Amino acid sequence: MKKLIQRLSYPWWIAASVTAIAAASAIVLTPQGGARAGAPASAPPAVPVSVATVAERDVTTWDEFSGRLEAVERVDVRSRVAGAVQAVHFREGAIVQRGDLLVSIDPAPMRRKPNARKRRSPRRRPA
């Protein structure tokens, strides 16, 4: 093993590396496609482009984004009684205070309920 390392000494590797770099450079730098070294290189054909003149004017900057908004605060409004809504007294998104009238419900079913309860209640008989 030592004899093999001695045969492949340091100066030999340097000479081999320099030769490989020179060969690679010669391949890369030679003219391609059979072109002559003295002939001028031809430029590629011009590509047509559109041209506009610059004009100064005011421009409104805007962007469009798709997204979803969600309210900071949310409440559920539930009626305490059943009935048909006759009128809505607020606009959607408006700020309302506690105690504000929000909707009016048809009062006719409410008028009938007390009478219905009286009819359904069992009569008490004196003992």
**Residue 54 confidence (pLDDT):** 92
**Ordered DSSP codes for 37-90:** SSSPPPPPPPPP-----------------------SS------SS---EEEE-S
* Residue ranges per structural domain of the chain: 85-120
Q: What is the pLDDT along the chain (127 residues), one digit of tens a residue?
A: 566 556 655 666 677 787 888 888 877 777 664 455 556 678 889 999 999 999 999 988 888 889 888 888 877 877 777 888 899 998 988 888 888 998 898 888 777 766 555 555 565 656 5
Element holding 21 (H helix, E strand): helix 10-29
